[in-house]
Amino acid sequence: MLQKKQPLLFVFFRNRLVLPLAALAVFLSASPAYSLTFVSSSPAANEIKAAANVKLVVTFGETLDPSAKGNIFIHGAVSGSHTAASAVSGTKITFTPSPAFTPGEKVTVTLKDGNGISMSSPKIWQFSVATPVTGINFIDSGKSIGVSDSRDAAIGDFDRDGDFDVFVASAGNNTLRNDGKGNFTAESGTIGAGSNGVAVGDLDGDGDSDAFVANNGGNKVWKNESGAFQDSGQTLGNSDSRGVALGDVDGDGDLDAFVANYGGNRLWLNQGNGTFSDSGQVPGTSDSNNVALGDVDNDGDLDAVAADSDTVKIWINQNGVFQKNEKELETDGNNVALG
Higher-scoring residue by pLDDT: 31, 319: 319
pLDDT value, residue 148: 65
Name 235's bridge partners: 220
Q: Would you place residue 35 in the very low, low, confident or very high pLDDT band (cuts 50, 70, 90)?
A: confident
Among 170, 166, 165, 173, which Cα is nearest to 148's? Answer: 170
Identical fold at 38-129 and 150-324?
no
CA-based angle 211:215:217, to the nearest 5? 140
Short-list 175, 200, 186, 203, CA closest to 269: 203
Q: What is the pLDDT, as a whole number, of residue 271?
A: 97
pLDDT in tens, 53-105: 999 999 999 999 999 999 999 999 888 899 999 999 999 999 999 999 999 99
Choose from 23-27, 37-41, 140-144 the range with maximum mean pLDDT: 37-41
Q: Which residue has the higher pLDDT, 323 or 143?
A: 323
Average pLDDT over residues 9-22: 46
CB 186 within 8 A of CB 174: yes
How high is the pLDDT of residue 6? 45
pLDDT at residue 258 above 90? yes
Query: What pTM, to 2 d.p., does this model score?
Result: 0.83
User: What number is the average pLDDT over the span 297-310?
Assistant: 91
Share of the chain above pLDDT 90, in %: 60
C-alpha 14/C-alpha 263 separation (Å) is 66
Give buried/exposed letters for 45-81 (b at 16+ CB in 10 A, else e): bbbeebebebebebbbeeebeeebbbbbbbbbbbbbb
pLDDT score at 217: 81
Taking alpha carbons only, the member of 92, 90, 72, 91 closest to residue 82 is 72
- pLDDT tens-digit map of 217-253: 889 999 999 889 999 999 998 778 999 999 999 999 9
Look at residue 138 in the predicted model and tell me its pLDDT.
Answer: 80
In tens, the pLDDT along 155-168 reads 999 988 888 899 99
pLDDT at 82: 94
CATH of domain 38-129: 2.60.40.1220
Of 284, 221, 276, residue with least CA distance to 249 = 276
State yes or no: pLDDT of 206 exceeds 60: yes
* Residue ranges covered by each domain of the chain: 38-129, 150-324
Whether residue 241 contacts residue 214, with contact meaning beta carbons closer than 8 Å, is answered with yes
Listed in sequence order, the residues at least 6 apart from 43 whose beta carbon sits closer than 8 Å to its beta carbon are: 50, 54, 56, 127
Amino acid in the structure at residue 32: P
Average pLDDT of the chain? 86
**pLDDT at residue 34 in the model:** 61
Asked whether the predicted pLDDT for residue 283 surpasses 60, the reply is yes
Specify the pLDDT at position 303: 95
| CATH number of the structural domain 150-324 | 2.130.10.130
